[in-house]
Structure 1
Amino acid sequence: MLSADLLALACGGLVGFSLALIGGGGSILATPMLLYVVGLPDPHLAIGTSAVAVGANAWANLFPHARAGHVRWPAALAFAAAGVLGAFTGSSLGKRVDGHHLLVLFAVLMLVVAVLMLRGRRNGAESGYPKPRLFPRLGATGFGAGMLSGFFGIGGGFLIVPGLIFASGMEIIAAIGSSLVAVGAFASTTAINYAASSLVDWRVAALFVAGGIVGGWLGARLARRLARTRGALNLVFALAIVAVAVYMLVRNLHF
């Protein structure tokens, strides 16, 4: 029990550290770590537990962005409201899918995330905020992002940031801040849905969150110092995601 607790703390710390250091994408490693390192016995239990940890980290990280004025609240709330419906739908479907099949799909998603990380985010502003027909665009995009987030039990920031930019035209720093409202809402919806089916290990989730807080603090302290090597860190992290995805495919595909 003690070794499993320490592993949960360490894995949470690694995810929090990577998120603070290089940005989005880190939370996608939470479910594989809970399965293959911490040792949770069931993919659905790992996804539900991961959703609790991702949601808690998103709400915690929202406050500094809100204080800095990086959250476009009307757009963020509209996107999140539509996405909560999508997250509930997606998480309900995910619970019905065979665990091994779900992990294969999860591994494919990880490969997509790695490609997006290697391409990098756009640094410029979009065509102008707000775009015409803002709320219908936010609703449709938010529902789709929320459904994928709920189905796989992930934060989905790599989907939400470009989705907000596409739907609203906001600049990237506002999209990053606003995305945390949606990440927190989607992950919380998924966590509640899985918890209703007793698919959350609350002890492991609490340890994972505690580790993430410490890891995030350390990553934030190093972020400025390592700014010049951010591209190299991003490359290493993307390659790590590819390696974990390949491992998951080998474990769950029967040739």
Structure 2
Amino acid sequence: MLVTAPDMATMLSGAAVGFVLALVGGGGSILAVPLLVYGVGVASPHVAIGTSAVAVAISAFANMIAHWRAGNVRWPCALVFAVAGVGGTFIGSHFAKQLDGGKLLVLFGMLMIGIGALMLKRRAGGGDPSVRLTPATASRLLPMLAGMGVAVGLLAGFFGIGGGFLIVPGLMLATGMPLIYAIGTSLVAVVAFGASTAASYAMSGLIDWRLASLFIAGGLLGGLTGMAIGRIIGPQGKVLQSVFSIVVIAAGGYVCVRGALPYL
């Protein structure tokens, strides 16, 4: 089968996202949509969002298995958050599909700036490692988990992102669990949000499955490379995360400007 220039661009874009995810521990999926639109040349922002949602779900699933084996997933909390959020993703994706592509890109760029700023803020690793969702704690934890789940799900569905950088602080705020458990637990919701967003866009015929498969293949290769380099650089990873945060903010500004140009 002939490999075209867009095919190569898609694999390279996927590799970039996978590399960043492995190297700095998250946030790479926020680059998937602008890479597909401006790097690969996907004409429709809606197709780019639907296609990236497939890649986000599969990438998160692979990471979730690793965290599950390490004992970092608090399943009852994860399932409540995910189930509540899935409803939000369908609502969010429904409204996103009604919005003009250019305006959607402007909003996406604004989200990138916000997430980049959130990534710059140092997250504390404290918390209560014994926190559990039980009959005794349900009256306190269930409303917070469900409310946070719906809110984050709306954003994840609207923008076609996994929402990990929104889910992690949301889980910590709702339950008081430590950062490492919040990261592992968040991946259950990222899988659910990505899969439900992808399903919504698939039902509307807004996923390019060929591009999705190439993007995922590139992401796997980029992830392996990122993990290898991450082991070499060690503590410098925190510096890289700060640099990447600034890149996300700058890229968000670019997306905003490009999306707004047709209306000027």
String of CA shifts for 1:112-155, please: whole Å, max 9, x gaps. 01101111222222596246611121111101111100000001
Q: What is the number of residues matched between the two proteins?
A: 255
User: Offset of 1:243 from its aligned partner?
Assistant: 2.0
Q: Distance in 1 between matches of 2:16 and 2:123?
A: 22
Structure 1 match to 2:45: 43
String of CA shifts for 1:183-204, please: whole Å, max 9, x gaps. 0000100000001111000000
> In the alignment, residue 61 of structure 1 is paired with which amino acid?
N
Cα-Cα RMSD: 1.4
Q: Distance in 1 between matches of 2:156 and 2:230?
A: 27
Q: What stretches of structure 1 move > 2 A for 4+ residues in a row?
A: none
User: Offset of 1:240 from its aligned partner?
Assistant: 1.4
State which of 192, 211, 215 in structure 1 corresponds to 2:218.
Answer: 211
State which of 215, 224, 245 in structure 2 corresponds to 1:238.
Answer: 245
Structure 2 match to 1:59: 61
State which of 11, 14, 31 in structure 1 corresponds to 2:16.
Answer: 14
Percent identity between the two aligned chains: 51
String of CA shifts for 1:14-59, please: whole Å, max 9, x gaps. 1011001101211000000000001111000000001011011011
Q: Distance in 1 between matches of 2:254 and 2:212?
A: 24
Q: Distance in 1 between matches of 2:230 and 2:203?
A: 38
User: Offset of 1:210 from its aligned partner?
Assistant: 0.7
Q: 1:126 to 1:110 in 2, by over 3 A?
A: farther
TM-score scaled by length of structure 1: 0.96
Asked if structure 1 preserves the Cα contact closer than 8 Å seen for 2:108 and 2:256, the reply is no
Aligned ranges for residues 3-152 of structure 1 at < 5 Å? 3-126=5-128, 129-130=131-132, 133-152=140-159
User: Offset of 1:67 from its aligned partner?
Assistant: 0.5
TM-score scaled by length of structure 2: 0.93
Q: Distance in 1 between matches of 2:169 and 2:95?
A: 24
Q: Distance in 1 between matches of 2:88 and 2:128?
A: 25
User: Offset of 1:158 from its aligned partner?
Assistant: 0.5
Query: Which deviates more from structure 2 when the two are superposed, residues 188-197 or residues 210-219?
Result: 210-219
Q: Distance in 1 between matches of 2:236 and 2:71?
A: 27
Q: Distance in 1 between matches of 2:146 and 2:249?
A: 32
Q: Distance in 1 between matches of 2:141 and 2:254?
A: 41
String of CA shifts for 1:54-109, please: whole Å, max 9, x gaps. 01101111111101101000100110000000111111111111111111110000
Secondary structure of the 1:239 match is helix
Q: 1:158 to 1:101 in 2, by over 3 A?
A: same
Q: Distance in 2 between matches of 1:228 and 1:193?
A: 40
